[in-house]
């Protein structure tokens, strides 16, 4: 997530670019310049051809973005939260923080993207026919074909591709069992991924070009994505409805606010091997009532202070102030806490009620809960 470049907002949705996107951008632009445009625009000079290839690639990724925006807009209209859209090596992805609430919402969301790609394909192909001039015709014909391909590929029935989501929606509607539907749809996704790998590798060795190898890469990515989206759903189901107060660690080592950082590093961070500590206000406190907490001190906060200044800076000064980013009320869902932790770089959240510290929650606490549930078979 930290490797994303934010490029702006469209319809309130944050759009970002992962650094891997630059790789695919260069591959597509150079492929166009030396392939499609070399073939159909032989009279154009190489410099101009590269310029056209670059602009066409930008239009291609604008099409991918419109595909993702369609998914996101339908999701938001159905009351779901979308945290943003990212363009990356294998195309685009809409980041949903929640699952669709019903099979019909899932179906609408899933078909919105390929539908947009089909509309774009029709528009570009029409433009390629009506516009005068060789260059426009060649550019729009390419964009028309590639958008049709995008729609067709995404409709393949392997979860988490759009077609796999359609399949899941159907199975979900039919069986009323979301986890079973997800299990079947993602096994289709894994099967499809393996097929793509096999065909891609075979094609490459039978004299295929880079495209075959790329197909194998996409197959590998799909296999991984199918597996992890199923695991994530299992985790989500197990953790939804479990309040963090049931999972948190109650015996918390807290650092006094006035303690200098060099002592904190020596007595707490090195000695107890935790990556984060709550910082408590000085003065007496009643342990039954809880501790008055003023901040959360993460290793990253300590690293932000130069080592030679550690003796002169207190834990209270270096700590991050309490905010929604590092605290949760005890009633919060364990799943929501896990999502929040993965978005913040500290990996810990303080469980705070009316300004009093009730406990601390980490991924380890949540994994411990999952392990005991698995061992008990619940």
Interface ranges with Zn ion (CB under 5 A): 113, 154, 162
Task: Compute the least distance from the CB of residue 299 to Zn ion, in Å.
Answer: 38
Measured from the CB atom, is 154 or 223 closer to Zn ion?
A: 154
Q: For the chain, where are the E strands, in sequence order?
A: 4-10, 13-18, 82-88, 91-96, 255-256, 276-280, 291-298, 320-321, 327-328, 348-353, 356-362
Question: Please, are residues 310 and 261 in contact by the beta-carbon 8 Å criterion?
Answer: yes
d(CA 378, CA 376): 6
Task: Compute the least distance from the CB of residue 148 to Zn ion, in Å.
Answer: 14
Measured from the CB atom, is 62 or 321 closer to Zn ion?
A: 62
Measured from the CB atom, is 18 or 162 closer to Zn ion?
A: 162
For 254, the 3-state DSSP assignment is coil
Task: Compute the least distance from the CB of residue 56 to Zn ion, in Å.
Answer: 21
d(CA 336, CA 347): 13
Task: Compute the least distance from the CB of residue 151 to Zn ion, in Å.
Answer: 9
Task: Compute the least distance from the CB of residue 67 to Zn ion, in Å.
Answer: 5
Question: Please, are residues 138 and 36 in contact by the beta-carbon 8 Å criterion?
Answer: yes
Give backbone dihedrals phi and psi of 180, rounded to 5 degrees, phi first. -65, -45
Nearest to 217 by CA among 230, 204, 206: 204
For 274, the 3-state DSSP assignment is coil
DSSP string covering 97-130, please? SS--SSHHHHHHHHHHHHHHHHHHHHHHHHHHHH
Task: Compute the least distance from the CB of residue 113 to Zn ion, in Å.
Answer: 3
Could you tell me the two tokens for 351?
């469980």
How far CA 4 is from CA of 15, 28, 340, in Å, comes to: 10, 20, 18
Measured from the CB atom, is 114 or 290 closer to Zn ion?
A: 114
Question: Please, are residues 353 and 332 in contact by the beta-carbon 8 Å criterion?
Answer: no
Measured from the CB atom, is 154 or 320 closer to Zn ion?
A: 154
Measured from the CB atom, is 91 or 290 closer to Zn ion?
A: 91
Q: How far is CA 377 from the centre of its chain?
A: 30
Question: Please, are residues 302 and 346 in contact by the beta-carbon 8 Å criterion?
Answer: no
Q: Which residue is nearest to Zn ion (CB)?
A: 113
Measured from the CB atom, is 10 or 38 closer to Zn ion?
A: 10
Measured from the CB atom, is 113 or 158 closer to Zn ion?
A: 113
Measured from the CB atom, is 117 or 327 closer to Zn ion?
A: 117
Task: Compute the least distance from the CB of residue 254 to Zn ion, in Å.
Answer: 47
Q: What angle do CA 117, 123, 128 make, to 5 degrees?
A: 120
Measured from the CB atom, is 113 or 219 closer to Zn ion?
A: 113
Task: Compute the least distance from the CB of residue 50 to Zn ion, in Å.
Answer: 30
For 366, the 3-state DSSP assignment is helix
Task: Compute the least distance from the CB of residue 120 to Zn ion, in Å.
Answer: 13
Question: Please, are residues 337 and 242 in contact by the beta-carbon 8 Å criterion?
Answer: no
């Amino acid at each position: 997530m930290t490797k994303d470049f934010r490029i702006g907002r469209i319809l309130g949705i944050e759009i970002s670019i992962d650094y891997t996107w630059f790789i695919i951008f260069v591959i597509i632009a150079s492929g166009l310049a030396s392939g499609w445009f070399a073939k159909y625009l032989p009279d154009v000079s190489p410099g101009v051809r590269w310029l056209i290839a670059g602009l066409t690639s930008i239009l291609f990724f604008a099409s991918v973005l419109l595909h993702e925006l369609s998914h996101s807009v339908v999701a938001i209209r159905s009351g779901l939260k979308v945290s943003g859209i990212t363009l990356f090596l294998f195309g685009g992805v809409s980041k949903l923080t929640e699952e669709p609430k019903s099979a019909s919402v899932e179906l609408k969301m899933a078909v919105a993207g390929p539908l947009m790609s089909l509309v774009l394909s029709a528009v570009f192909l029409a433009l390629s026919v009506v516009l005068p001039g060789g260059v426009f015709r060649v550019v729009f014909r390419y964009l028309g074909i590639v958008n049709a391909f995008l729609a067709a590929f995404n409709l393949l029935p392997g979860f988490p591709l759009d077609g796999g989501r359609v399949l899941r929606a159907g199975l979900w509607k039919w069986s009323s069992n979301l986890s079973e539907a997800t299990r079947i749809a993602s096994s289709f996704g894994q099967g499809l991924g393996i097929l793509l790998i096999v065909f891609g590798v075979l094609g490459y060795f039978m004299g295929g070009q880079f495209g075959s190898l790329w197909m194998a890469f996409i197959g590998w990515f799909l296999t991984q994505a199918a597996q992890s989206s199923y695991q994530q759903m299992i985790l989500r189901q197990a953790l939804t409805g479990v309040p963090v107060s049931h999972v948190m660690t109650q015996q918390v080592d807290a650092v006094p606010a006035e303690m200098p950082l060099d002592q904190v590093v020596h007595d707490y961070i090195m000695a107890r091997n935790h990556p984060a500590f709550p910082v408590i206000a000085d003065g007496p406190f009643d342990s039954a009532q809880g501790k008055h907490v003023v901040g959360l001190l993460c290793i990253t906060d300590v690293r932000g202070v130069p080592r030679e200044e550690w003796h002169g800076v207190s834990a209270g000064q270096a700590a991050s102030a309490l905010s929604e980013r590092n605290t949760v009320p005890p009633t919060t869902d364990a799943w929501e806490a896990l999502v929040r932790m993965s978005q913040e770089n500290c990996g810990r959240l303080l469980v705070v009620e009316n300004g009093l510290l009730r406990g601390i929650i980490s991924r380890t606490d949540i994994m411990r809960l999952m392990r005991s549930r698995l061992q008990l078979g619940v």
